[in-house]
Structure 1
């Protein structure tokens, strides 16, 4: 039976869910508070420069392929995809860097030059990571987190110990060189927690890195959003932008309407891909599934200070993706997770997409995105933003051996206050809830409200977790639960 389904937000998870629900024959409408679709994956354009405002790493290409295949499509039907080589560069000091190549054999050779004997250790580590990837990404993450039994399979039983060890401990058992340790700990930062708080099983992120590689969709990650929007519209999805949700109305215990820009909009099913905590504040207090105390005790992934910078020249000695790990990794992690404050000497990430994609900057110029991970909820002022831009631009100049400040045409910043204003993000977090042991699978906020019928959630604060591929999966999972409920109701009425 065709139902009216209303979706809040237009990020990856919302667009994915909309596609699946429309394919099932339902009338699907998306409401997005901002002027364009994409949620945190919006695009910023200025003076011929183009920036992805949010996600910039295209990992796990198989997840994207699986999504589009569900609709008889491929990613290449919508955007050109190129594997980056090297995938990224890691700076440890002036003229001291490691390039992570596109092939594992080349990466092993690089490791061996840094720490003799490490090539064999890396192969062993990645073999285990691939085994975990095959279990997690091809199976477990496509389960909706309704029961702990979802995690119990013959394969996971064999790996039970990995849920009680951690990435940091495992890496240090095999590698002694600090550069290699930091490179291997880096991928799990996408999961939003310290390597020492991330279960060993999540080493599958290392296989996503070294085994599957780093890719780039021409035009940036917004090309993926545009592809999903095109697919959604082709399936009949209606999308409204500049449509802020002010309240979710509950009648007889059932979500039945939303207040959109002051207008009451009815729906048979309401699903939110917006910030989970914020969505619940749209409900009367009695209908909220999680208390303020619950959210306060969660471990959130970091927020970020971002800068979008236009340069009037090309930048030397950098790649498309660059990590600057020339300061104390552990001290920065403590400033994010243990003692929230602005880090004294932050690690940071810089992206120059114009190294691979002529669409991102005018000829002989460069578009640069700078990102500093920060604790969510910390003080955010223009003065602090300027101070930290000076820190990172100075270090890039020093480490890459060039003067850059005089070549800046413009810079725009984005930080905690903006995440709150634009996305209603809890404490201004950028990536959702961290994937720690006690925030994994069925221990995360549920896809389906326990207190309100016909109210569902999707996105990085629920199952399966933070990141773009998990967001695609989250949309599929929520759509599946909705279809299951509606099919069950149809059978009962028949």
Structure 2
């Protein structure tokens, strides 16, 4: 779909975009570049949505995304505007890409060199090197096909999705078969399975309920590589903002949208905390349910509460942002702590919906790669523990898990860390609700389950309000930064079709 954007014919229309996350910024840039007058309304003081940053005591923390996978999606997006990634930030490939900590403290580094990784697999399980090559080749096919044809489809109707070519592809892409069964055809060793299944756990569903299509994630992470934008993910968010601004987008931060006023099934005004603005079309890239529930009259809503309660949500998470006044040699940039039972934690997130007994967690230490995010001689830590959505998260519970995670982290590091913490902040379910109006405090949107893929996601275009379109992690194609960018692109092209009619 890399249509370069064409010159715009026809009148200039006013488009309002709600939310300045990646989806909203991507959509706004495309629409403004086509000559429309685009205003982005953002309730928070800063842009970036979940990819906001904050600084304190010399530390700069990325608040959300920290994994840079699928580099071609960013490249393709910038290419539409005659830019490349390197015009804006320096991308560094991480080696090791990440490390996985297994029970007993065994660490497996994932080398940047794919053949070295195959050799590592072979040491763990005889025959696994060839199997990994086959598994990744299959993931690459899914990536090339899925990321270029399927994922850019708006997912309006089953007929579009099932056009014969796509239906054939859907079968080959294993949209309807289970990820865990697929992985188990290749590997037996629980360590290899944990390594292969982790992107699924973090992006939201039990591996058995996730389409095998998502082995395209393994292709990206293990073969394309894991990257880091120097300066942090905030640099990537700033780039989207700057490209949008160059195209003429106006950003209005600290301005909350309070109501979308409709008549005859069409929005004509956006009412915010400080203004009333006329609009020809709207892209809602904030939380989908919040937009329908809080901003539209009941008659204009398509999905009711029963619908949302019946959905499978990707996890929420408990996060800690920590500034440490010494270096921690044992830590890599990305560290996955899989030293407890994967299956149990997954059950507790997706089935029991309770605080975990023995959680898996993730530690990001960007100061390993990037000296700009921490004062000299210090370490910047971001700790993430996936949890079920909707859990109560009072301070004593956060503190309880802080101690559990720090016990395990210190044991791994072989040194004390708690006594060296000079900055600490936690972030959890209620913060996701307050800052992003996230339904039940979800962090990653809707799970990519077999029943919620593509056409089964909430509609990109409102069936009730003709000029209201949606983007972001609750619609197609799903959670993660590249999917959010793609989602904004799809929504923008749907708006252009609507405006040009």
TM value normalised by structure 1:
0.97
**SS at the partner of 1:116?**
coil
Deviations 1:139-166 (A, max 9, x none): 1101111122343454751661723321
Q: Deviations over 1:344-377 (max 9, x none)?
A: 1100000000000011101100000000000000
Q: Which one of 301, 308, 312 corresponds to residue 288 of structure 1? A: 301
Which residue number corresponds to residue 426 of structure 1? 439
CA–CA distance in structure 1, aligned partners of residues 349 and 21 of structure 2: 25
Aligned to 1:174, what secondary structure does the other structure show? coil
Q: Which residue of 2 aligns with 1:491?
A: none
**TM-score using structure 2 length:** 0.96
Taking the TM superposition and a 5 Å limit, the aligned residue runs for 1:126-141 are: 126-141=136-151
Q: Secondary structure at the match of 2:102?
A: strand
Of 196, 220, 224, the match for 2:236: 224
Q: Distance in 2 between matches of 1:436 and 1:115?
A: 29
Q: Does 1:75 align with 2:85?
A: yes
Between 383-392 and 145-154, report the one with greater CA deviation: 145-154
Q: Hey, what does 2:476 align to over in structure 1?
A: 463
Answer with 270-279 or 200-209: which moved more. 200-209
- Is it true that 1:54 corresponds to 2:64 in the alignment? yes
Shift of 1:414: 0.1
1:160 aligns with: 171
Contact 1:94 1:398 in 2 (8 A): no
Give the Cα–Cα distance (whole angstroms) in 1 for the partners of residues 31 and 274 of structure 2.
Answer: 26
Query: How many residue pairs get matched?
Result: 488
Q: Deviations over 1:70-96 (max 9, x none)?
A: 111001111010100001000013441
2:324 to 311, 319, 324: 311
Contact 2:177-2:450 within 8 A present in 1 as well: no
Provide the C-alpha distance between the structure 2 equivalents of 1:115 and 1:169, rounded to a whole number of angstroms. 18
* 1:216-295 → structure 2 map (5 Å cutoff): 216-281=228-293, 282-295=295-308
Classify the secondary structure of the residue corresponding to 2:151: helix
Deviation at 1:12, TM superposition (A): 0.1
Aligned partners of 2:269 and 2:340: how far apart in 1? 51
| Separation in structure 2 between the aligned mates of residue 471 and residue 201 of structure 1, nearest angstrom | 18
Provide the C-alpha distance between the structure 1 equivalents of 2:111 and 2:159, rounded to a whole number of angstroms.
39
Runs (4+) off by over 6 Å: none
Q: Show the counterpart of 2:225.
A: 213
Superposed CA offset, 1:176-234 (max 9, x none):
11100100111223531111111112211110111111000011111110001111111
Deviations 1:361-419 (A, max 9, x none): 01100000000000000111100000001000110111221111111112100000000
Q: CA deviation at 1:438?
A: 1.3
Spell out, residue by residue over 1:324-361, the C-alpha distance to the aligned partner (whole angstroms, 9 max, x if none).
00001011001100000000110000000000001110
2:52 alignment counterpart:
42
In 2, Cα distance between equivalents of 1:150 and 1:99:
42
Unaligned runs of 5+ in 2: 1-10
* SS of aligned partner of 2:308: helix
Cα deviation for residue 169 of structure 1 reads: 1.1
